[in-house]
Amino acid sequence: MDVYPPIPTSQSPLKLVLRPTLQRQCLVIGGSRLAAAIVRSVLAANAVVTLVSQRLCKELAVRSARGEVGWLERQFEERDLIEKDLVFVVDEDPTCIVERCRQSRIWVSAVRHPDLGDFSISHEPVSEQDDIPTLSEPSQPQAPSRTPSPAPPRLPGSLTLVGAGPGSPDLLTLKALTALKTADLVVSDRLVSPAITRLVTCPIQFARKVCGRAREAQDEIYKWTLNAVKEGKNVVRLKGGDPFVFGRGGEEVLFFRKCGVECVVVPGISSSLAAPLYAGIPVTHRGVADQVVIATGRKEDGSAPTYPPYHPQRTSVFLMAMGCIDRLSKTLVKDLGYPPECPVAVIEKATCEEQRVVKGTVESIAGLVSGLGITSHATLVVGGVVEALAPEEDEWSDERSSVTVDMDVDDTWSSATVVND
């Protein structure tokens, strides 16, 4: 019989090691010299630090001005826990904060009351002298540095870039819903579903993006957002689908970073995948398609991008293609090898109550879309998968190009009714 050593009756603490490669998001509640000692320790582990405090000691004031830490100049609020991995409570009563952290399953350290927290952290002893100069004091002359210029000072508010998904509020992620519920201001794209914007309880501003003034509207979005963040507000930038799938999310992250605002990005379900699913179209299917290409129908100036060439095992999904569908369909056949009879589906307002599915061919789809007045908020799917799950041939109209399908999105796609024009 194996004999194992007994478990000690005294409770021994576990050692917490922060791996420098993981870049943990840490919240430090406090601005004292003790908080500065904690910050030095976590920064040494390559953590990203946000401070919450109405006042900062000299060291933390300098670190904030250099962009080494973010600073929310106020008392702690529950929304500060969003996207955080570790929390250090230094200068506020830890009782309620510890409870909130545990409800959110976030590890918390009550630095001045270690028995209340989940872990403790070793740090340098706190000196009575704070020898780092204040912003108004000149620092000692130093040799010229070859390091890059410091980042711009962090602004006091916060910014979350949220993907609203394809349209149905049921498809919002929990993280997206939490961000909307805790925002002070939401700046929303015009095409975000009204069913989702109705969930917003704070003030909301809509981007006025229309044809011909996209650049002016984007500048307006930047202005609204930056002004609110400078005021210390928690701003949500709400975008349709997924922010990083033809949503200019990357451009906005880079812009705000230059202005001293680091975005938290919450992904959304892209209509490039959700729309076909709600139309009963699998974008991959054994023996039919083993690859998917997601493309845009047009560039920002309206010109044609490089469209994907035809491959019999490929599904091509096009976003923002309704305004150029005639040019697109002709280019696919003439220049890129798509058979004129290649199956095509257009899913309008996918996942919403008004969802409509139109099926045709590369050759016929432009005429169908024009006749039905579909101009935006639609996804174009091209390839054999369009018919992969279709009923048997004799259940469909002989004229495939004249078939439209109205979907009841409260039921599954298999309960769709077929309406012949």
Give 252-304 pLDDT, tens digit per residue.
999 999 888 999 999 999 999 999 999 999 999 999 999 999 999 998 878 99
* Residue 407 DSSP SS3: coil
What 3-state DSSP class applies to 114?
A: helix
Helix (H) or strand (E) holding 326: helix 325-334
Choose, from 58, 175, 209, 230, the residue flagged as catalytic: 209
Instruction: Exactly one of 80, 91, 189, 242 is catalytic; name it.
Output: 189
- Residue 332 makes CB contacts below 8 A (sequence gap 6+) with 307, 310, 338, 342, 362, 382
**15 labelled catalytic:** no
pLDDT in tens, 328-378: 999 999 999 999 999 999 999 999 999 999 999 999 999 999 999 998 889
- Which CATH fold topology does 158-268 show? Cobalt-precorrin-4 Transmethylase; domain 1 (3.40.1010)
Across 158-162, average pLDDT: 95
Q: Which amino acid is at 64?
A: S
The pLDDT value recorded for residue 260 is 87
Instruction: Give the pLDDT band of residue 157 (cuts 50, 70, 90).
Output: confident
**Between 128 and 166, residue with greater pLDDT:** 166
Please determine, looking at this structure, whether the domain spanning 25-116 carries the CATH number 3.40.50.720.
yes
Least confident of 72-81, 141-150, 326-335, 394-403: 394-403
CA gap 268, 414 in Å, rounded = 25
Q: Of 69-83, 143-157, 197-211, give the lowest mean pLDDT range.
A: 143-157
Q: What is the dihedral of CA 269, 274, 275, 278, to 10 degrees?
A: -140
- Is the confidence at residue 391, as pLDDT, over 50? yes
- Answer whether 158-268 and 272-420 agree in fold: no
Q: Are strands 314-319 and 234-239 parallel, antiparallel or unpaired?
A: unpaired
Mean pLDDT of the chain: 83
Respond yes or no: is residue 320 known to be catalytic: yes
Say which of 58, 118, 184, 320 is annotated catalytic. Answer: 320
- Side-by-side strand order, sheet with 291-296: 291-296, 314-319, 378-382, 343-348, 356-361, 403-406, 417-420
CATH number of this structure's domain 272-420, picked from the four choices 3.30.413.10, 3.30.950.10, 3.40.640.10, 3.30.9.10? 3.30.950.10
54, 31 contact by CB (below 8 A) = yes
Q: Where are the domains of the chain?
A: 25-116, 158-268, 272-420
Report whether pLDDT(140) > 60: no
3-state secondary structure of 5: coil
Active site residue 189: yes
